[in-house]
Amino acid sequence: MCGICGIFNLNGELVSTVLPQRRGSSRANWQHNQTHNITSPITYQAHFWHAQFDHSKRTLFAAIYTSLGCNFGCDFCMINIVNRIDNADDVNAADSRGMRFWSPEWVNRQMRKLANMGVRTLRISDEMFFLNRKYYAPILQQAIDEDFGFNTWK
């Protein structure tokens, strides 16, 4: 297992210190960070299709959640497992429905941090982001007002 990059064992003993390289990302990220004087721990790049199928247009990428859970109680869905308060075998995610939200101000601070680290492609990963206009409208308005310059999608 020592030859597998990024593998660690469960008791915390280091098995491998070599992290895997993402194809084509390290050189482009280094150049971007040097050009923009950015020290960033983020090395993941936008998907090829977000860069108009042009490798030279790939930018640093991040994904964020602004909420967790769902108000619906579908018994086939596991989205509400994050809200589970009972670990009994007969309890499913539908028994623990509910939503938790971060404030628009908190989300704005996270977006600012990501922008300052050089992220230009941002995914809002919430499954239910557009469920409540009163929640998403202030987040999107702040992102517009701050002009982070993100290429973003949901």
Residue-wise pLDDT tens digits, 101-128: 899 999 999 999 999 988 888 999 998 8
**Residues whose CB falls within 8 Å of the CB of residue 103, separated by 6 or more in sequence, listed in order:** none
- Is residue 89 over pLDDT 70? yes
Residue 81 lies in a domain: no
pLDDT score at 106:
94
Sheet holding 119-124, edge to edge: 60-64, 119-124, 151-153
* Confidence (pTM): 0.66
Quickly tell me which residue has 């998907």 as its tokens.
Answer: 47
pLDDT score at 40:
60
Distance between CA atoms of 95 and 80, rounded to whole angstroms? 8
pLDDT score at 19:
44
Amino acid at 24: G
Give the mean pLDDT of 43-53: 73
**Residues whose CB falls within 8 Å of the CB of residue 64, separated by 6 or more in sequence, listed in order:** 107, 110, 111, 114, 122, 123, 124, 125
Contact present, 44 and 60 (Cβ < 8 Å): yes
Residue range of the domain that includes 55? 26-66+102-153
How many C-beta atoms lie closer than 10 Å to residue 81's C-beta? 11
Residue 124 lies in a domain: yes
Please tell me the total count of domains within the chain: 1
Q: Which two tokens stand for residue 37?
A: 């004087």
Q: Which two tokens stand for residue 6?
A: 């990024």
